[in-house]
Amino acid sequence: MVARVIPVDPFDLVVFGGTGDLSKRKILPGLYLRFLTGQMPPESRIIGAARSEMTDEAYRKLAAAALEEFVARDKQYKEAMGRFLDRLHYVAIDATGEGGWSQLAGLMRPGVVRAFYFSVAPALFGDLAERLHAHGIADQDSRIVVEKPFGRDLASARALNAVLAAHFEEHQIYRIDHYLGKETVQNLMAVRFANVLFEPLWNAHYVDHVQITVAETVGVGGRGAYYDKSGAMRDMVQNHMMQLLCLIAMEPPYKFDPNAVRDEKLKVIRALQPVAAEDIVRGQYRGKPGSEEGGKAEPSYLEDVGDAQSRTESYIALKAQVANWRWQGVPFYLRTGKKLRARTSEIAIVFKEAPHSIFGEEEGWKENVLAIRLQPNEGMNLRVMIKEPGPGGMRLTDVPLDMSFADALGEEGTDIPDAYERLIMDVIRGNQTLFMRGDEVEAAWAWTDPIIEGWEARGDRPRGYDPGSSGPEDALMLLHRDGRRWREIRG
Ligand code: NAP
């Protein structure tokens, strides 16, 4: 199967923070890969902007080094990279100063899509928005792209929304949650709303519970100081995991339209119940001593962040409930953490037992599970019961109906664009479906704030867990006491 590529309209994309880590690792490689497929029209341009003084030539060198480091070797075509780099320009601008803005204004061309990527600290969003308008660079059709973190609580998210709303309409603002750009996450909507098979079962009558797991094997490493101010709840649950929960729990939108989809997600967030203290387990990874066989010592979370008193969690598990007709009584168990056994992201819909077993208890019956893997090896797996082959009576066994995209779709299944590639092209196309709306972000913080305030008021300390484990012991109890168990964390 050959992927269909529909070119977007020609554009000028200004990347504020164009020399930063995100630009080098994701934005520039993503744009190059779209250029390679022919989706980025050759007359489009990317204008990097940051405070450092630099010529266009020096910026192209910086970008070339980033492509060499972050684009897969088999996609590094010298000639195409050269043509792509020719589309790059650079302007030295301090978001908080006046220099460089008229040069940028002079560079912008009429008649092409204008987009501004704010790949800088959120504290600079207001300065950028204000100056883009003051210098007549942004117009009614321009788009701005903003990154996480979008606030650290409801008040700061509201303040950020207000700063942006002072200069841009909601339809111009693209709040990135890169999880929404993942192929499987969009496939979740296709599976639910393009098949008649699952939707009739997608409710409290047939679903026992849902598990969402995002496990990492790495610690906070060099990001310790930043991470310690946020923790797993703010860094993962409030945004990425909340978005996944919404896509599972939402009602079918009346059409696949940005506001129709986001209206339905918002209803889910608003239906989330407050979470009781006993339904949350927080953890911090312990350190590991070196071994005589040459195993390297690993620092603990507290050593990584350089604060022996830190109460920030590197792991969280919680039980969420969506209070509406469809999901009444169905727990959504969420867990995410660092330094766990394997790197994996998975959503599992665990169905209820059959109402009556004609085969008897002892015959190996297991529940049906639809598992949606975000990483590694994006795909889906539905476990169904069959008869164990061979003689010896009616014994049951569960087998996977496995759809790995790589197997099912051949080359196209493995050649899945990175989330950033897709999302940046959506910005140019003017499609906001996979971006968070301001009211969604605020509603997510309104649910998150009391949870965090609760553990802060109680002086709650995260439990220790061993690196390479599945998290704190208490997290197992969260499901055990409900008569359930977590799925194994497997890479
Ligand atoms: P970074 O590596 O620190 O880069 C910051 C960029 O902003 C640099 O290009 C810097 O260049 C520029 N900058 C700083 N102050 C400026 C000013 N006053 N005016 C204009 N430009 C200025 O940060 P990053 O990791 O790329 O992150 C950028 C944004 O993306 C942040 O909001 C971050 O939270 C978010 N984000 C990053 C990642 C990631 O993987 N890196 C992931 C998700 C979200 P000069 O110093 O030359 O000005």
Q: What is the pLDDT of residue 445?
A: 98
Q: Is 22 in the pocket of ligand 1 (CB under 6 A)?
A: yes
Q: Is the pLDDT of residue 66 over 70?
A: yes
- Of 84-93, 188-197, 371-380, 408-417, the range with the lowest mean pLDDT is 408-417
Å from CA of 176 to ligand 1 middle: 15
Q: Is 52 in the pocket of ligand 1 (CB under 6 A)?
A: yes
Q: What is the pLDDT of residue 409?
A: 65
Determine which residue's CA is closest to atom 7 belonging to ligand 1: 17
Residue whose structure tokens are 């220790």: 464
d(CA 129, CA 139): 11
Identify which has the larger pLDDT, 377 or 274: 274
Q: Is the pLDDT of residue 25 over 90?
A: yes
Q: Is the pLDDT of residue 441 over 60?
A: yes
**Two tokens at 359?**
């085969």
Q: What is the pLDDT of residue 394?
A: 81
Identify which has the larger pLDDT, 166 or 389: 166
Q: Is the pLDDT of residue 413 over 60?
A: no
d(CA 59, CA 47): 10
- Of 70-74, 146-150, 379-383, the range with the lowest mean pLDDT is 379-383
Asked if residues 142 and 114 have their Cβ atoms less than 8 Å apart, the reply is yes
Q: Is the pLDDT of residue 371 over 90?
A: yes
Q: Is 147 in the pocket of ligand 1 (CB under 6 A)?
A: yes
Q: Is 229 in the pocket of ligand 1 (CB under 6 A)?
A: no
Q: Is 383 in the pocket of ligand 1 (CB under 6 A)?
A: no
What are the pLDDT digits (tens) for 169-178?
999 999 999 9
Residue whose structure tokens are 């965090």: 452
Identify which has the larger pLDDT, 394 or 344: 344
Whole-number percent of the chain with pLDDT over 70: 96
Q: What is the pLDDT of residue 214?
A: 97
Q: Is 95 in the pocket of ligand 1 (CB under 6 A)?
A: yes
- For the domain with range 11-147, which CATH number is right: 1.10.10.10, 3.30.56.10, 3.40.605.10, 3.40.50.720? 3.40.50.720
Q: Which atom of ligand 1 is nearest to the CA of 50?
A: 21
Q: Is 91 in the pocket of ligand 1 (CB under 6 A)?
A: no
What residue ranges in 74-155 does DSSP mark as E strands?
A: 88-92, 113-118, 143-146
Q: What is the pLDDT of residue 384?
A: 84
Within the chain, which residue ranges are assigned CATH 3.40.50.720? 11-147
Residues with active-site annotation:
240
Task: Name the burial class of residue 7, with classes exposed (0-12), middle (13-18) and buried (19+) by CB atoms within 10 angstroms of its CB.
Answer: middle
Average pLDDT, the chain: 93
Å from CA of 47 to ligand 1 middle: 15
Beginning with the edge strand found earlier in the chain, give each strand of the sheet holding 207-215 in spatial order: 396-404, 379-387, 369-375, 344-351, 207-215, 331-337, 315-321, 280-285, 463-465
Determine which residue's CA is closest to atom 35 belonging to ligand 1: 147
Q: Is the pLDDT of residue 361 over 80?
A: no
Å from CA of 98 to ligand 1 middle: 19
d(CA 230, CA 189): 30
- Of 211-225, 292-306, 353-367, 380-394, the range with the lowest mean pLDDT is 353-367
What are the pLDDT digits (tens) for 32-52?
999 999 999 989 999 999 999
Within the chain, which residue ranges are assigned CATH 3.30.360.10? 180-417+439-480
Å from CA of 239 to ligand 1 middle: 20
**CATH topology assigned to domain 180-417+439-480:** Dihydrodipicolinate Reductase; domain 2 (3.30.360)
**Two tokens at 85?**
């780099």
Q: How many CB atoms lie within 10 A of CB 279?
A: 18
Q: Is 127 in the pocket of ligand 1 (CB under 6 A)?
A: no
Identify which has the larger pLDDT, 387 or 27: 27
Q: Is the pLDDT of residue 132 over 90?
A: yes
Q: Which atom of ligand 1 is nearest to the CA of 51?
A: 48
Residue to substitute in 16, 46, 47, 51 for testing ligand 1 pocket (most ligand atoms within 8 angstroms of CB): 51
